[in-house]
Chain A
Amino acid sequence: GNSVTQMEGPVTLSEEAFLTINCTYTATGYPSLFWYVQYPGEGLQLLLKATKADDKGSNKGFEATYRKETTSFHLEKGSVQVSDSAVYFCALSTYGGSQGNLIFGKGTKLSVKP
């Protein structure tokens, strides 16, 4: 079945450090891939997405590239800020399948220290 695996946290970085959060997926067909962010006390909001192989999604300095050959969609940011402290979820969406065609990873908590 379809699944998403992302690196476990928590991840603690100093301000201006480089961030990578790994995400790999298993899916039949050609899924779309997403990164969502959840700030404390809030729901999830879309951070970026990619809908086909080699697409790069980007937003707010974050980037992720859809790599079909390695079934990966790693999230990166060159210089994190304290305001980036949040929980990050990798997700995929497919045609067909179970669970409403939407699968999330377990989430990675990021804390950025000044």
Chain B
Amino acid sequence: EADIYQTPRYLVIGTGKKITLECSQTMGHDKMYWYQQDPGMELHLIHYSYGVNSTEKGDLSSESTVSRIRTEHFPLTLESARPSHTSQYLCASKGQGSLTEAFFGQGTRLTVV
């Protein structure tokens, strides 16, 4: 069982609201990732982190922001939600080195109305 958790699982929110998607892992992994998954299933990397106080933007431009103040916690924030932000968001973590696999949370399905 992977020890990485995302909350909420589902969220319906109005346009203009500020939201934070939570992601926590108990495996002590330094690397953490946020992906946006479109209906065609492709994963788009929007943010990643190599450790505390490290955050990088991924290959898909996103209006969201992230922070990494603690190793186990990697929240994603949208200051002003829009319908275009409606998507599935997946969080993952990974240990050091190329031999280790990534572990994924169950995802947050966000709908902005």
A interface residues with partner B (beta carbon < 8 Å)? 30-32, 34, 36, 38, 41-46, 49, 51, 87, 89, 91, 93-95, 99-102, 104, 106-107, 109
Contact = CB atoms under 8 A, between A and B. Distances in A.
Contacts of B33: 100, 102
17 contacts: A32-B98, A32-B99, A34-B102, A36-B104, A42-B106, A43-B90, A43-B106, A43-B107, A44-B90, A44-B104, A45-B2, A95-B97, A99-B58, A100-B33, A101-B31, A102-B31, A106-B42
Contacts of B101: 34, 46, 49, 93
B98 A93 contact: yes
Contacts, number: 70
A104 B43 contact: yes
Given A93-B100, A100-B50, A107 B58 contact: no
The 8 closest A-B pairs by CB, nearest first: A43-B104, A100-B48, A107-B41, A44-B104, A93-B98, A106-B42, A46-B101, A32-B98
A62 to B, nearest CB: 15
Contacts of A109: 41
B21 to A, nearest CB: 13
Contact of A100 (B45, B103, B106): B45
Contact of B104 (A32, A45, A93, A101): A45
Contacts of A45: 2, 104
Nearest to A96: B98
Nearest to A97: B98
A107 B42 contact: yes
B7 to A, nearest CB: 13
A10 B64 CA distance: 31
A52 to B, nearest CB: 9
